[in-house]
Amino acid sequence: MFDLTKNLHSLQFEAGLKEEEKNLIHLRSRSAALTESSCAHALFYCQLAKRLRTNMSKLSGLSANARAVRELSVGIIGGGHLGQQLARVIEESSGINARNIKVSSRRPEALAQLSAMGIECFYDNQRLASWADVLFLCCLPSHLLQVCADIKTHLSHHCIVYSLIATVPVHRLARLLGHTSILRPAYQFVSCETGPRPHLPEHSVATALEDVQQTTATCPLTMSSGVRIGAAWLPAVLYSLLNMCCSVLPPEGALDLLNQLLRLQPDSALSAHHLISQSSVSTPLRHLPWISLVDVQSKDTPLSRHLMKSPVLMECLLALYLPTLTPGGSKNQEISS
């Protein structure tokens, strides 16, 4: 959409600020950078989970009606700025059909634009929690206690709760929900003079991520947008994908599927020794334990150590990230996987 006010300084946001307020203008860019990074990483996770589901559905011997191999369903609790931006990004860029995205908000009538895209909007947190495979928490921190009380008994064991509530640590969420399949990216701001300037709040995040330079700046392994993501997030993502595989496949099949998703060659493929402690690995490999995502985000793990030492794995993840998020990337990745 063309911005008629773009070159009219007197109509810009900064023109109405007092001098002391202008000292805080950098917070606006920080907020935009955080929103872009949060949405980009959430999109990347949805893409990986969707592709894994697609690959599992092609395996013989698995029921097409099993929850673990049906189309990925994505729920978002919270219809504010972040929740709306996230819904748009997932609908426009993930390849997930709008009918498989739903939003629960206290004011669903204010989400007309999302409804026009085919995304169902309503106010029923329990219904959404019962339905979703991935459930994003985008509500205000002040609403969290009520949200957790609403959904606690309605989450399936395999549902991934992905929290974008920055002020609430993962262990507190686990206690409130009685649930361990939780992803909670930990972001921090760092000084940045070389990265691209983030798009400001009035712009769509989906539009911002069409810019390859902007998307590259959000890559979790090489972030240059003034925001950093905690090192525990990426291993936790991989462990969550392993749990998905183990829910329907024996250990060897689960590892094969994960390596296929990451496009790792046999000489660099992940094995049980890279994922769980040596004392837990049986020979022959009979089972892989269910991994608590809460634990792996607060402790050093075999996978986090392997990731730091394996340039091949890092290169594979880098090679996956940018094509997944750039325009047409979802379709191209599906074709080539």
The pLDDT tens digits for 265-315 are 999 999 988 998 765 555 556 778 889 999 999 999 999 999 999 999 999
C-beta separation of 208 from 198 below 8 A = yes
List b or e across 20-49, with b for residues whose CB sees 16 or more CB atoms inside 10 angstroms: eeeeeeeeebeebbbbbbbbbbbbbbbbbb
pLDDT above 70 coverage of the chain, percent: 78
Region 123-134: what's the mean pLDDT?
Answer: 98
Amino acid (1-letter code) at residue 203:
H
Q: For position 13, what pLDDT does the model report?
A: 55
The structure's pTM equals: 0.87
Name the token pair of 72.
């990925």
Q: What is the DSSP string of 163-181?
A: E--TTS-HHHHHHHHT---
- Would you place residue 209 in the very low, low, confident or very high pLDDT band (cuts 50, 70, 90)? confident
Q: For position 206, what pLDDT does the model report?
A: 84
C-beta separation of 211 from 225 below 8 A = no
Q: For position 256, what pLDDT does the model report?
A: 94
The pLDDT tens digits for 303-312 are 999 999 999 9
C-beta separation of 304 from 237 below 8 A = no
C-beta separation of 280 from 296 below 8 A = no
Q: For position 331, what pLDDT does the model report?
A: 46
CA distance 313 to 318: 9
Q: For position 207, what pLDDT does the model report?
A: 84
DSSP state of 95: -
The pLDDT tens digits for 37-87 are 999 999 999 999 999 998 988 875 665 556 666 889 999 999 999 999 999
In the chain, count of helices (H) and strands (E)? 16, 8
Contacts of 184 (CB under 8 A, 6+ apart): 162, 163, 168, 169, 170, 173, 297
